[in-house]
Amino acid sequence: MKPYTHILFDLDGTITDPAEGITTCVRHALHCQGIEEENYQNLCRMIGPPLAEGFRDFYDMDEEHAWQAVRDFRELFARIGVEKNIPYPGMKETLLRLRNAGKVLCVATSKPEPFARAIADRFGLAECFDFVGGASLDDTRTKKAAVIEYVLASVGSPEPEQVLMVGDRRHDVEGAAAFGIDCLGVLYGYGSREELTAAGACFLAEQPADIADYVLGK
């Protein structure tokens, strides 16, 4: 068994597949800025990174327009986004395996915390977690490293070697590395093997069950 006592999970692309909700809301936010994006793969690039960062990097928005796009996204997501998520097959079973083994489980997502909590509640996943943490709505906590710091402080500030981050994008790996924390990359989400390997993921999971197998040494 690995020495991890605390397992932090990203949400989008790790616990649930958010593609329908996020791409719909990104398309809406871009439309509000006068940008018509119909390329689905381009829209999917927005799954994972903080939204403002994605709007800046992929659509060349300045800070003011990027944050207006975030507000337009959130306005629609608050109405439709929770329902347009699908937990990955086998995810709840994986979470329960880890919880039954005595692990402290948390969500650490760049999605605003109220949305993350609503999604966990909607799909019966809240019972699996000791803490669900996310970005703040006032935009003071949006980067993955800041979210991880907040979540760790909320569960007793465990030592870095006791913590494993689980996520599907380089932002998860890099955010964990800022605190000397290992990150397991999942290949069923929206990051590629190349992206996760280059970022320094300690292990790559093909499916949710592989996460528990890795942690529990099965």
Give the active site residues: 10
Return d(Cα 50, Cα 25) in angstroms, integer. Answer: 14
Signed CA dihedral, 149, 154, 160, 165: sign only = negative
The answer to whether 167 and 200 have CB atoms below 8 angstroms apart is no
The answer to whether 26 and 179 have CB atoms below 8 angstroms apart is no
> Does an H or E element contain 32, and which?
helix 19-32
Buried b (16+ CB within 10 A) or exposed e, 43-73: bebbbbbbbbbbbbebbebeeebbbbbbebb
Nearest alpha-carbon partner for 45 in 55, 32, 35: 55
